[in-house]
């Protein structure tokens, strides 16, 4: 039986993208908490302060389990699930699996300048061939364990923001990049979904998502005039958008 719609304020679960960690939401979390919401920013296995857990065994499902574990441990019952960049893949699988386990817990899915997977595809599937080739080549330096972060300037960051992100980024587990993503697309498509498009400068690996959300039915789209990491240099604007989405029910 589906859970009854909750009248309580939703909890936000913010899932970071590649090379980042829960640290990247440091400027957004207090803005959500100040409005009376619960808000969580887990760090996925193998990166950030959990970089010591780096392993060839880390798969997308490992990160799905990280997020499911948080939702279940905190006993959340009304969740706005936000996935940044790579984590668009993670929240898609979380949504599919959580809806089977505990229908009605997810209130909204937010893809923050994020990848949108197809069943049987991978994180790398929509990327330009030259990006795929470059990441495969980079991973050879660690015998396929991980690939290094880019300079944060590619995310539209400058000055102290760029320096902060460059200091904090850690290598990304490589197996995730070509891991097959299996889920029921129809089940996920029934959920309210929002895409936040960061347009200045646009990150090339998100181009396929930008086109897709404007062609497929069921998507709400917002644009932000900033680069790929608005939680760093546009936290107030991003928090305002998330609160708007959370209020939609």
Q: What are the residue numbers of the active site?
A: 85
- What CA–CA distance (Å, rounded) separates 243 from 32? 7
Strand partners, 82: 14, 110
CB 113 within 8 Å of CB 125: no
In degrees, to the nearest 5, what angle opens at C-alpha 234 toward C-alphas 28 and 68? 40
Cβ-based neighbours of 225, under 8 Å, separated by 6 or more:
199, 200
With residue 40 as reference, give the H or E element that holds it: strand 39-40
Q: How far apart are the first and last CA of the chain?
A: 19
């Amino acid at each position: 039986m589906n859970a009854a719609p909750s009248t309580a304020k939703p909890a936000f679960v913010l899932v970071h993208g590649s090379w980042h960690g829960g640290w990247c939401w440091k400027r957004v979390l207090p803005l959500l908490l100040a409005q009376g919401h619960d808000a969580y920013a887990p760090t996925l296995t193998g990166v950030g302060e959990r970089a010591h857990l780096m392993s060839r065994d880390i798969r997308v499902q490992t990160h799905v389990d990280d997020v499911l574990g948080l939702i279940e441990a905190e006993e959340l019952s009304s969740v706005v699930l936000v996935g940044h960049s790579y984590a668009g893949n993670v929240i898609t699988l979380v949504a599919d699996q959580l809806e089977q386990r505990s229908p009605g817990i997810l209130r909204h899915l937010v893809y923050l300048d994020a990848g949108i997977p197809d069943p049987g595809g991978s994180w790398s599937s929509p990327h330009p061939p030259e990006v795929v080739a470059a990441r495969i080549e980079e991973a050879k330096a660690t015998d396929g364990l991980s690939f290094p972060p880019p300079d944060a300037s590619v995310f539209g960051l400058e000055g102290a923001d760029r320096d902060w992100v460059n200091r904090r980024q850690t290598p990304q587990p490589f197996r995730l990049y070509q891991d097959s993503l299996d889920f029921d697309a129809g089940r996920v498509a029934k959920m309210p979904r929002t895409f936040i498009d960061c347009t200045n400068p646009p990150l090339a690996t998100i181009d396929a998502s930008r086109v897709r959300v404007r062609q497929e039915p069921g998507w709400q789209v917002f644009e932000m005039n900033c680069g790929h990491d608005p939680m760093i240099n546009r936290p107030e604007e991003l928090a305002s958008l998330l609160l708007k989405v959370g209020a939609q029910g």
